[in-house]
Homo-oligomer: A and B are copies of this chain.
Amino acid sequence: MATLREISKKIGISIATISRVLNGADNVSEETRKKVLKALKEYDYQPPQVAKRKLHHLIGILVPTLWGNHYNLIAEGIETELTANGYDSFLSSTSQLINKEKEILEQFFSRRVDGIIICTTKNDDEHIEKLIKTAIPVVAVDRKDSNIKVDSVGIDNYQSAYNGIKYLYKMGHRKILFVQASRNTYSTYEREQAVKDFAKRKNLELTVLEGNFEFEGGYYPIKEYLEKHGKNFTAIFFSNDQNALGGMRALYESGLSIPDDVSVIGFDDDRYSKFLYPPLTTIKQPRFEMGEMAAKLIIERIERKGSKVKRRIILPTELIKRSSVKQI
């Protein structure tokens, strides 16, 4: 990338003339115009930023994926709040390529966003660090950040899961399976820790099965467990509603009924969860509201309202009692 000055030297045409071409002025010969345009392209000339704080009313939103029920709902919440405040958004998903996150962030800069909302559960803080240094406002959603270096919105995964296992305990369950998902994701890691801590305290028989956040991540672990050990438990705590749905199929295929033979609790309250058979007891995560809150925060930062102190905002979850857990 060359400056106008450098290009001017190289092609022997004055900066004033080049500027006239750039501005589409008439008083330049066609030959000169062509020569200048060719040189601008050849030397990769990029028009510079003018004023530092001119608002473009544009926010970049970075999500790991559009699949599933989580990030698309957060994104809807963000977009709704941004639109209501006259901001556009620029949504990108990193799901398809490794290192795409970095590329997308660079694109956000070149497209001149006023701020970035980054939704990711990865613990790697490298990108956030870089963002903070650029002085563009950043809000993180659903992301662990112990040192609160950036504004963030999330839930208390530990306390929420603790409430879930406590409920199973209250309903009389002492032999419980927990289906976890990727331990690289801090949210599921914290859910697992809470369940383990409670089980230890109350001396419960807890078995942790390796699953994942997808539908099959509940089906296969339960199916394999039942084949090996039979039904030696009374309740299952699934780390999200998706693997609960899959796990429920495995239970039915083994001739077990829910909740008469096995009680089941999920996490998230996906849209289908209340239409499952039986309607799924679960812990509701306020995704849409998390998105709205993230948008509010980024607008405050951009418009320099409110405090300069970074905030971590924790929204409440709710135990939704339906029919999949039975008192025994």
- Identify the closest chain B residue to A20 (Cβ): B5
Q: Across the interface, which residues of B come within 8 angstroms of A92, CB to CB?
A: 79, 88-89, 91
Q: Counting CB contacts under 8 A, is A230 at the interface?
A: no
Cβ-neighbour of A215 out of B14, B46, B249, B271 (below 8 A): B271
* Given known A66-B66, A91-B91, contact A246–B275 (CB-CB < 8 A): yes
CB atoms of B3 and A23 under 8 A apart: yes
In the complex, chain B residues whose CB is within 8 Å of the CB of A253:
277
The answer to the question of A37 belonging to the interface, with a C-beta cut-off of 8 Å to chain B, is yes
Nearest-neighbour CB distance to chain B for A34, whole angstroms, equals 10
Given A245-B272, A252-B277, decide whether A19 and B37 contact each other with a Cβ distance below 8 A. no
The CA of A24 and the CA of B88, in the complex, are separated in Å by: 27
A70 to chain B, nearest CB (A): 11
CA distance A37 to B54 in the complex (A): 11
Contact A215 B275 (CB under 8 A): yes
Q: Are B219's CB and A275's CB within 8 A?
A: yes
Known contacts A248-B277, A271-B215, A275-B246: A72-B67 contact under CB 8 Å: yes
Q: How far is the CA of A253 from the CA of B40 in the complex (A)?
A: 71
Q: A5-B25, A41-B51 are in contact. Are A275 and B216 (CB under 8 A)?
A: yes
**Could you tell me the distance between the alpha carbons of A246 and B273 in the complex, rounded to whole angstroms?**
10
Which of A95-103, A193-201, A297-305 lines the interface with chain B? A95-103
Instruction: A72 to B95: give the CA distance in the assembly, Å.
Output: 12
**Which residue on B lies nearest to A2, using beta carbons?**
B23
* Residue of A80, A88, A97 contacting most chain B CB atoms (<10 Å): A88
Identify which of B24, B25, B67, B272 contacts A76 (C-beta below 8 A): B67
* A51 contacts across to B, CB distance below 8 A: 37, 40-41
Cβ of A45 within 8 Å of any chain B Cβ, yes or no, is yes
Cβ B66 vs Cβ A93 within 8 A? no
Q: List chain A positions with a Cβ less than 8 A from chain B.
A: 3-5, 14-16, 18-20, 22-25, 37, 40-41, 45-48, 50-51, 54, 58, 65-67, 72-73, 75-76, 79-80, 83, 88-93, 95-97, 100, 104, 107, 111, 214-216, 218-219, 242, 245-246, 248-249, 252-253, 271-272, 274-277, 279
Other than the given A3-B24, A4-B23, 15 more pairs (CB < 8 A) read A5-B19, A16-B16, A19-B19, A37-B51, A45-B50, A47-B47, A67-B72, A67-B76, A79-B92, A80-B96, A88-B92, A88-B111, A111-B111, A246-B272, A249-B276
